[in-house]
Amino acid sequence: MLGAKAINKMKEISLSTPQIGEEEKLALCGVIDSGWLTMGETVAKFERAFAELHGLDDAVAVNSCTAGLHLCFRALDVGPGDEVMVPSLTFVATVNAALYVGAKPIFLDIGGVSMPHISLEDAEEKCTSRTKAVVIMHYAGYPLDLSVWRSFCDAKNLMLIEDAAHAPGVDGVGRWSDASAFSFFSNKNMSTAEGGMVMARNASFLQRIRRLRGHGMTTDTLDRDRGHAYSYDVNMLGYNYRMDELRAAMGLVQLAQLPEWNKRRYELTKVYRESLAAHIPEVLVPFGYTHETAAHLMPVLLPTEANRQKIMAQLRDAGIQSSIHYPPVHQFSYYRERFPTVVLPKTEDFCAREISLPLHPSLTEDDVKRVVESLEKAIHGP
Ligand SMILES: *Cc1c(COP(=O)(O)O)cnc(C)c1O
pLDDT one-digit tens code per residue, 15-30: 999 999 999 999 999 9
| SS3 label, residue 120 | helix
Amino acid identity, position 238: G
The answer, yes or no, to whether residue 6 has pLDDT greater than 70, is no
Query: Does the C-beta of 245 come closer than 6 Å to ligand 1?
Result: no
Report strand pairing: 179-183 vs 110-112: unpaired
The answer, yes or no, to whether residue 122 has pLDDT greater than 60, is yes
Candidate ranges 4-13, 212-221, 373-382; pick with highest mean pLDDT: 373-382
Hey, which of 15, 88, 166, 185 would you mutate to test ligand 1's pocket, going by the most ligand atoms within 8 Å of its Cβ?
Answer: 185
188 is catalytic: yes
Cα(228) to ligand 1 centroid in Å equals: 36
**Which amino acid residue places its CA nearest to atom 8 of ligand 1?**
185
Nearest partner of 141 among 166, 104, 168, judged by Cα: 166
Amino acid identity, position 327: P
pLDDT band at 2 (very low <50, low <70, confident <90, very high): very low
Nearest partner of 361 among 287, 259, 250, 289, judged by Cα: 259
Exposure class string for 345-369: b at 16+ Cβ within 10 A, else e? ebbbbbbebbbbbbbbbebeeebbe
* pLDDT tens, position by position, 325-357: 999 999 999 999 999 999 999 999 999 999 999
Note the pLDDT of residue 219.
76
pTM: 0.95
Question: Rounded mean pLDDT of the chain?
Answer: 95
- The residue-averaged pLDDT of 71-98 equals 98
Note whether 224 and 53 are within 8 A (CB).
no
* pLDDT tens, position by position, 291-320: 999 999 999 999 999 999 999 999 999 999
pLDDT band at 222 (very low <50, low <70, confident <90, very high): low
| SS3 label, residue 65 | helix
Query: Does the C-beta of 241 come closer than 6 Å to ligand 1?
Result: no
Note the pLDDT of residue 1.
44
The answer, yes or no, to whether residue 10 has pLDDT greater than 90, is no
- Other Cβ atoms less than 10 A from the Cβ of 57: the count is 12
Task: State the catalytic residue, choosing from 104, 126, 188, 263.
Answer: 188
Report strand pairing: 159-163 vs 179-183: parallel
Query: Does the C-beta of 163 come closer than 6 Å to ligand 1?
Result: yes
The answer, yes or no, to whether residue 178 has pLDDT greater than 50, is yes
Nearest atom in ligand 1 to 195's CA = 7
Query: Does the C-beta of 91 come closer than 6 Å to ligand 1?
Result: yes
Burial category of 105 from C-beta neighbours within 10 Å (exposed 0-12, middle 13-18, buried 19 and up): buried
* pLDDT tens, position by position, 249-264: 999 999 999 999 999 9
- The residue-averaged pLDDT of 131-140 equals 98
